[in-house]
C-alpha cells in the first residue's frame, strides 16, 4: 500500500463526514430555531445533502480504496477506519439513492406533522406520515439484506456490534427482574420528600440548569443550550449543542434532561479533535453514547452528594429551601402512575422502552398496522406499567424518534443504562467518586471517561471497548445490583 492511497481514501472519508455533519446542523436548526413555514425548503436541502453523502459512500473510488487497503499492511488505527467505512459502504451500496432521498424528505416533512398532532392530541394526523416512514424503512432494510429480519437490520444502524439478541436478552431480563422491585417499592411505607409544590418560571429554571452545567463543567466555548420539543444533543468535538425543555410544575424534569444531554455532549467533546472527519473521531454508536448520558444523569445527578452540591443553587434560583436529602429523594422517587418516558424513574423507565421496542419491532416486521398503534400502546402500558394513557399526546405521540424514521433506536437506551452502571462500578474502583461529586470535582471523572472511552472513537468494536474499559464482558449484573442496593435503601426494602 502506498501512503498516497490511504491519504486519498481518508480525504474521501472526511468529505462524506463533513457533508453528514452539515446535515446535522440543518436538523438542529429545524428543531430549535427554524421558522415553521420553512419546512418544504428544509426538506429539499436535507434530502440533497443526504443524497450527496450517499453518493460519496457508494462511490466506485471508495470501493477501490477499500479493496486495495484491505489487502495492505495497515496499523491498528488504519484497520479500524477501513473496517468502519467498509461496514457503512457495504450497507449503503445496496440502497438506491432515490430511497435515501425519499426517507430524508419524508422525515423532514413528518416533524411538523408530529408536532402538530402531539399539540392537538390527535394521532390520526400523524398516521399517514408514520405509515410512509414505516414502509420506507422496511424497503431500506430489505435492500440491505432481504433474507434477514428487517428490524434486526435497522437496529444495526444504531448498535452494529452487540446484536439484537443481546438487546432482547437484556430487555427480557430487566422485564423479569425489575417488576418485583417496583412492586416492593409500591408496598413500602416510606414516602419520598417532595419539596417542589409550586409553579416555577422558565427563566428561573433555565438559570438553575445553567448553574448545573457550570458546576459539571460544560464547555460553553464549544456548545450552547436551547429549548426544543424533545431534548437532544447535536454536533462534533468542536461544537456539541444541547437542548432541554421546561415544565412549570416539575423543575426536576429540566434538570434531569439537561444533565442527560450534558453527558452526551461531554462524550462528543471528548472525542479526539485531531481525528475529526474519520471514524477515529466519531462516537462508538448509541449503546456507548447512551451510557455516557446515563452515567452523568443517574450515577452523578441522582446521587445524594450531587444534591449536597446543588442545593444552594436550587434555593437561589427557585426559592426552594430544601435539605439535600429531600432533593435526593425527590430526584429518585419511583412513580407507579407515570406515562412519560423522559420523566420516568430508573426502575420503570425500562418498561417504557420495552413497550416501544415491541411496537416498533412489530411495525417493521409487518405484524402491526400503523392504525392500531394507539390501542396497542395503551394496552401495553396497562400491562407493563399498570397505567393507561387518556390521550395520544401522553401516549404514542410523546417521542420524536419515529418521525425521524429511527426504528431500532429505543433498545439502546436500556443497553446504555446497563453499560452506565458497569462503567460506574469500574470508575469507583479507581476514584473516590462520591467525595469528588460532593466537592464539585468533576475533572477526574471526565478524564477517566476520556481515557477509557472517549479518546478511542470507533477504534474498537462495542464489546472490545467495554472489555477494555471495565475488564469484563457486557453484563446487566451491575445495573441490577445497583438498583437493588439504591432503592432497597431508599424505600427500606
Residues belonging to the active site = 261
How far apart are alpha carbons 323 and 288 in whole angstroms? 34
- How far is it, in rounded angstroms, from Cα 179 to Cα 186? 10
Of 116, 71, 94, 92, nearest to 13 (Cα)?
Answer: 92
The Cα–Cα gap between 278 and 306 comes to 36
Is the distance from CB of 303 to CB of 440 less than 8 angstroms? Answer: no
Exposure string of 332-353, with b = 16+ CB inside 10 Å and e = fewer, is: bbbbeebbbbebbbbbbbbbbb
**Rounded-to-10 torsion of CA 173, 176, 177, 183:** 160
Distance separating alpha carbons of residues 427 and 435, to the nearest angstrom:
13
**Residue 440: half-sphere exposure toward Cβ, Cα within 13 Å:** 13
> What is each CA distance from 214 to 36, 172, 217, 239, in whole angstroms?
32, 39, 5, 17
Radius of gyration of the chain (CA): 22
Amino acid at each position: 500500500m502506498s501512503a498516497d492511497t490511504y491519504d486519498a481514501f481518508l480525504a474521501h472519508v472526511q468529505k462524506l463526514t463533513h457533508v453528514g455533519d452539515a446535515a446535522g446542523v440543518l436538523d438542529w436548526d429545524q428543531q430549535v430555531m427554524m421558522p415553521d413555514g420553512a419546512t418544504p425548503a428544509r426538506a429539499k436541502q436535507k434530502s440533497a445533502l443526504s443524497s450527496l453523502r450517499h453518493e460519496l459512500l457508494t462511490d466506485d473510488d471508495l470501493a477501490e480504496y477499500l479493496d486495495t487497503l484491505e489487502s495492505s499492511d495497515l496499523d491498528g488505527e488504519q484497520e479500524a477506519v477501513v473496517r468502519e467505512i467498509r461496514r457503512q459502504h457495504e450497507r449503503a451500496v445496496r440502497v438506491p439513492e432515490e430511497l435515501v432521498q425519499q426517507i430524508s424528505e419524508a422525515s423532514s416533512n413528518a416533524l411538523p406533522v408530529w408536532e402538530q398532532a402531539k399539540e392537538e392530541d390527535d394521532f390520526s394526523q400523524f398516521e399517514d406520515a408514520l405509515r410512509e416512514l414505516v414502509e420506507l424503512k422496511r424497503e431500506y432494510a430489505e435492500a440491505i439484506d432481504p433474507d434477514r429480519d428487517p428490524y434486526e437490520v435497522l437496529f444495526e444502524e444504531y448498535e452494529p456490534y452487540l446484536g439484537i439478541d443481546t438487546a432482547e436478552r437484556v430487555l427480557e431480563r430487566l422485564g423479569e427482574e425489575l417488576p418485583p422491585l417496583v412492586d416492593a417499592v409500591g408496598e413500602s411505607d416510606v414516602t419520598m420528600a417532595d419539596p417542589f409544590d409550586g409553579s416555577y418560571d422558565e427563566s428561573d429554571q433555565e438559570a438553575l440548569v445553567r448553574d448545573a452545567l457550570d458546576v459539571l463543567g460544560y464547555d460553553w466555548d464549544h456548545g450552547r443550550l436551547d429549548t426544543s420539543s424533545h431534548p437532544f444533543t447535536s454536533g462534533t468535538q468542536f461544537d456539541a449543542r444541547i437542548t432541554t425543555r421546561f415544565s412549570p410544575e416539575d423543575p426536576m424534569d429540566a434538570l434531569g434532561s439537561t444533565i442527560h444531554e450534558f453527558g452526551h455532549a461531554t462524550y462528543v467533546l471528548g472525542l479526539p479533535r485531531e481525528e475529526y472527519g474519520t471514524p477515529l473521531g466519531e462516537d462508538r454508536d448509541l449503546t456507548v453514547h447512551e451510557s455516557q448520558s446515563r452515567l452523568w444523569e443517574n450515577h452523578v445527578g441522582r446521587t445524594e452528594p450531587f444534591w449536597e452540591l446543588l442545593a444552594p443553587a436550587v434555593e437561589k434560583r427557585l426559592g426552594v429551601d430544601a435539605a439535600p436529602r429531600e432533593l435526593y429523594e425527590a430526584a429518585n422517587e419511583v412513580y407507579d402512575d407515570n406515562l412519560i418516558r423522559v420523566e420516568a424513574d430508573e426502575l420503570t423507565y425500562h418498561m417504557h422502552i420495552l413497550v416501544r421496542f415491541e411496537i416498533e419491532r412489530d411495525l417493521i416486521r409487518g405484524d402491526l398496522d400503523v392504525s392500531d398503534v394507539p390501542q396497542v400502546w395503551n394496552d401495553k402500558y396497562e400491562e407493563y406499567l399498570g397505567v393507561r394513557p387518556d390521550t395520544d399526546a401522553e401516549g404514542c405521540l410523546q417521542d420524536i424518534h419515529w418521525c425521524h424514521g429511527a426504528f431500532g433506536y429505543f433498545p439502546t437506551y436500556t443497553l446504555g443504562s446497563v453499560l452506565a452502571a458497569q462503567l460506574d462500578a469500574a470508575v469507583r474502583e479507581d476514584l473516590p467518586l462520591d467525595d469528588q461529586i460532593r466537592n464539585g470535582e468533576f475533572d477526574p471523572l471526565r478524564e477517566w471517561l476520556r481515557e477509557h472511552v472517549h479518546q478511542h472513537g470507533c477504534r474498537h468494536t462495542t464489546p472490545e471497548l467495554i472489555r477494555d474499559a471495565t475488564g469484563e464482558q457486557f453484563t446487566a449484573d451491575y445495573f441490577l445490583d445497583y438498583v437493588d442496593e439504591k432503592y432497597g435503601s431508599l424505600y427500606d426494602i
